[in-house]
Amino acid sequence: MEIRNKLSDDWNGIKEIIPYGFGWEASRCIDKLIKDFSIPFIIDNDPLKKGTDYKGIPILPWDAVKDSINCRKIVVTTRYRQYYKIAKSLEAEGYAYGTDFCNIKEFIPEWYWKNKKECCLYTVDMTVSAKCNFKCKNCNMFMPYYKTNVRYSLEDLKANIDQFFKIVDYVCYIGFIGGEPLLFTQLEELIEYVKLNYLDRVGNFTIHTNGSIVPSKQLTNAIKKYNITVAISDYGVQSPCRDKMLDTIAYLQGQGVYTDVRSSLEWRDVGFPESPCDFNDEELRKHMKSCSADWRGINDGKFYYCNIAWSAEKAGLVMLEPDDYLVMEELAKDVSKGKESLLKLSEGYFDKGYMSFCRKCGGCGMDNTKLVVPGVQL
């Protein structure tokens, strides 16, 4: 099976592209794109960015450049709602998806594999602490339901990262997640290690926290030094310690750290572990497609299509099937084949058509209508 085939053949060998969108998503990938392509301008419709530039590349609104596209390919460097809005507007102007434009998330794995035989991913998460100081009823990593204490040492996490980069050439974004990642007390050492060894192979690092722990001075220094984003989930009145979270935000912003405060979170009840779903084989394929989970995971020397499935097994609640994940040490025995296998799994190609845990999990797609209030505590 071909790895993706969303781009028309005339994307092959292109030397020039036009990124559309210069927000947070673009910050993950723009330096990689600048390194590998000529970029005449970046499109962004924010009036505050009009006339500014990034490393000498002008940032201009669509209306100012729409007559200068000249058959060049557009890579939309935004996601979710923002992406659909831009895609709709491009289609309304006669541009076709896959031929004239595509999304960065699709572009990165397909173009680099087809043109350079490189294994490039858009996003991956790594759990640094399978422990949390909150007890969210609908935690999609099932943290309150873990049957045993799981701890990672710095050496475990370094080895995990090393195995990953034996196969993966570049990743636009690595998220350090938990549990609560700030409960891992050697986070700054991990950051230093990854930056020292893989600096030019990662676009952006983000730490995802509930904001209840103010980072130490040393960690804050590492965050600042390497321009790491801190994403803070704001559960509003449900938060067990919102005042502390506000203190953390004020502290980080005062230190000049880029914080991404997420207050409009949308959570769905996936059913598991209390009332697991039971999709049949036929439903499962559609269900997994509808979910289109965005949570590739690297944990315990393995690569997972969905980190939620990894966590369900780590919690001692299920046993995954061997083809639900890839063992990176195995992939490294034949790196070229390993890259291809990893890209395929990352795109959701499973021989049986789905991942086993999807049978029990309600997922996060439109077929799961059970919206719940985020952050409700057990």
Q: Output the smallest distance, CB 55 to ligand SF4, in A.
A: 37
Concatenating the DSSP letter of every residue in 168-237 gives -SEEEEEEEESS-GGGSTTHHHHHHHHHHHHGGGEEEEEEEE-S-SPPPHHHHHHHHHTT-EEEEE--GG
**Cα separation, 100 vs 104, whole angstroms:** 13
| β-strand pairing of 302-304 with 325-327 | antiparallel
Q: Which is nearer to ligand SF4, 207 or 361 (CB)?
A: 361
**Binding to ligand SF4 (CB under 6 A): which residues in 231-290?**
270, 288
Q: Which is nearer to ligand SF4, 20 or 354 (CB)?
A: 354
- DSSP class of 38: B
* Cis-peptide into 273, omega within 30 deg: yes
The pattern of x and - marking residues 59 through 98 that bind ligand SF4 according to CB under 6 A reads ----------------------------------------
124 binds ligand SF4, rule: CB under 6 A: no
Which span sits near ligand SF4 by CB under 6 A: 6-14, 179-187, 338-346, 356-364?
A: 356-364
**Cα separation, 171 vs 347, whole angstroms:** 14
Please tell me the count of residues contacting ligand SF4 according to CB under 6 A: 13
**Cα separation, 354 vs 376, whole angstroms:** 31
- Is the CB of residue 30 less than 8 Å from the CB of residue 54? yes
Q: Output the smallest distance, CB 314 to ligand SF4, in A.
A: 13
**Binding to ligand SF4 (CB under 6 A): which residues in 286-345?**
288, 291, 293, 306, 308-309
175 binds ligand SF4, rule: CB under 6 A: no
User: Using CB under 6 A, which of 76, 219, 230, 355 touches ligand SF4?
Assistant: 355
Q: Which is nearer to ligand SF4, 161 or 309 (CB)?
A: 309
Query: Residue holding tokens 């339901």?
Result: 145
Residue least distant from ligand SF4 (Cβ): 363
The binding site for ligand SF4 (CB under 6 A) comprises: 270, 288, 291, 293, 306, 308-309, 355, 357-358, 361, 363-364
